[in-house]
Structure formats: structure tokens, C-alpha cells
Amino acid sequence: MPSPSSFAKPGRWGQIQEKDPPILYFHPASATGLPLCTLYEVFCQFQCETSVLLPNDLAMAKVVAAQIAAFRLCLKMADEFENENEYEEAFDSCMADLLEKMEK
């Protein structure tokens, strides 16, 4: 493992994370470990409680859209971007469905 200060060099983090084993903190999104709900009971309970259906279809549609947007953001924002425009486009793409549902 290289020194911590070398991680800050441009492009270095991506090279290090491609090696096995990567540091498991979702950067890139494929660098994952066991789901938290398998490690800690409280996360399992939280996951179960958040899956309870809401009283009406519109509210449920908004919740589902928010969960999907959060999932997409976690996957995409962990990537490296060439510039700010590429980053903004990726963010907008992840949020588009949620923003459309929230306008209703």
C-alpha cells in the first residue's frame, strides 16, 4: 500500500483502487464489501422499516424515485470525471426522474 499522501496525486487513487484488494468505501462503486445490514442488526431493522408502504400511490412513487436517485448517485458519483461539466451531466442524469416526480 502506498503512502497516504500519494493518494492525492491526480489519477493515483484510481490506479490503487484497481488493484486487489481495494479500499472498500464505494470509490469506485465496485469497491464494496458486505452489506451493512449483514454486519449490524440496527441497519437491518432500518432497512425493514423503510420498506413499509406509504398510504398513497403518489407519495410512494416519490419515495421510490428518491431511492432510485440515491442509488444512482452512489454508483455514478464515485467515478472519476474529466471536468466539472461531465460531473454536472452525471449528477443531472441521476436526478432527472426524481425531479420530474417532485414537480407533480
Give residue 69's pLDDT.
Answer: 93
Q: pTM for this structure?
A: 0.56
**Residue 21 CB burial class (10 angstroms; 0-12, 13-18, ≥19):** exposed
Residue-wise pLDDT tens digits, 10-24:
777 777 777 777 776
Q: What is the pLDDT of residues 52-104, one digit of tens each?
A: 766 777 777 888 899 899 999 988 888 888 889 999 999 999 999 999 888 87
Q: How far is it, in rounded angstroms, from Cα 67 to Cα 75?
A: 12
Please report the pLDDT score of residue 85 as a whole number.
Answer: 93
R_g of the chain, CA atoms, integer Å: 18
pLDDT of residue 11: 74
